[in-house]
Amino acid sequence: MDALIARDLRLAGADLSSWLPGLLFFVFFIMVSVIAIGPEARILRDMAGGLIWLALLFSLILKVSDLFQRDMMTGMTEQIFLSGQSKLQFVIAKAVSVFLIHLIPLLIIIPIVGFVLGLEAQQGWAMTLSVLVAAPALIFYVLMTAAILSRQRTGGFIAVIMVLPFLIPILIFGVAAAESADSSSLYSVEIKALLGLNLISMSVGIPAIVAALKANIHQVT
């Protein structure tokens, strides 16, 4: 498992284009949204939570949906599946590397973007917290889509259509958690709901990811 994560980190370090565009997209999405909506501070502050969550979802989906593709096409995935490592560990390692490589940069920039949109510092941290709590559910559903589409060269739009229905509950409770946040919010209903969604996404997502990768490697003649 360490070896898998180390490999992903090395590859991300060697190839900035594998994660940097996701970060740039995030900031760009916020900027063009502000241009489209207009710069009135009160409206922006009201919309900040929803905007940040939307930018985050799309940045993650568009980048991560081709996450298994390269390894599937070069035959790397089938070699890993033959190597005798547990598939559970493989999926968890992938989720950890997605968190480290794709989500951490976004988590860092969220308070800054929140500040630019006129949120109080504390509200900005609440945004980060809500994303952090929802991270496993986000990652496992996006990875599931990536696994299903791992042999599809043109997966972008269908990835969005496929994964968004599953992300709607996370979006709903994530935005609500961020907006209702104050210092005692760690025990709020929204946070509990997100934790529940995490559990479900793992128990459903991990077997689905393994099965989808297998279906893309294996074939019945």
Partner 1 sequence: MTLPDHRLCFRNVAARRGNSLLFAGLNFDLTGGDLIWLQGPNGSGKTTILRLAAGFLVPEKGEVFWKLEAQDAVPEELVAYQGHQDPLDTELTVSQTLNFWTDMYNSQMDIAKCLTLAGLANKQTVACGKLSAGQKRRLVLARLLISNRPVWLLDETATMIDSGGEHLFHSILSDHLKRGGSALLAAHRPVQKIGATASRLVLGAA
Partner 2 sequence: MINYLANPSNFLRFQRIATPVIGLVIFLTSLALGLWLSLYASPADETQGEVVRIMYVHVPAAWGSMMAYTALTIASITSFVWRHRLADSAARAFAKVGIVFAFLALATGSIWGKPTWGTWWQWDGRTTSMLVFFFIYAAYLLIWSMVKPWNRAARLAAILAMVGSINIPIIKFSVEWWSSLHQPATLSYIGAPGMPSELLRPLLMMAWAYASLFAWASLMFIKADVMALRARRQSSRPISSVTIKKL
Residues that bind partner 1 (CB under 8 A): 2-4, 6-7, 10-11, 14-15, 71, 74-76, 78-85, 217-221
Q: How many C-beta neighbours within 10 Å does residue 11 have? A: 15
Q: How far apart are CA 22 and CA 27, in angstroms?
A: 9
Q: If contact means CB under 5 to 8 A according to the sort of partner, which of partner 1, partner 2, none does residue 107 touch?
A: none
Least separation in angstroms between residue 202's CB and partner 2 is: 12
44 Ramachandran zone, left/alpha/beta (phi>0; psi -120 to 50): alpha
* Residue 73 in contact with partner 2, rule: CB under 8 A: no
Long-range CB contact pairs, 217-220, < 8 A, 24+: 217/72, 217/77, 217/78, 217/81
Please work out the total of residues on this chain that contact partner 2, with binding judged by CB under 8 A: 27
Nearer to partner 2, 105 or 169 (CB): 169
Half-sphere exposure of 29 (CA within 13 A, CB side): 21
* Residue 185 in contact with partner 2, rule: CB under 8 A: no
Nearer to partner 2, 109 or 194 (CB): 194
Least separation in angstroms between residue 151's CB and partner 1 is: 13
Least separation in angstroms between residue 17's CB and partner 1 is: 11
- For the CA atoms of 50, 52, 56, 59, what is the dihedral angle to 10 degrees? 110
Least separation in angstroms between residue 148's CB and partner 2 is: 5
Is residue 118 within 8 A of residue 45, CB to CB? The reply is: yes
* Residue 144 in contact with partner 2, rule: CB under 8 A: yes
Q: Which of these, 76, 86, 63, lies nearest to 160 by C-alpha position? A: 63
Query: Residue 178 carries which side chain, given as an amino acid letter?
Result: A
Instruction: Give the residues lining the site for partner 2 (CB under 8 A).
Output: 144, 148, 151-152, 158, 161-162, 164-166, 168-169, 172-173, 176, 193, 197, 200, 204-205, 208, 211-212, 215-216, 219-220
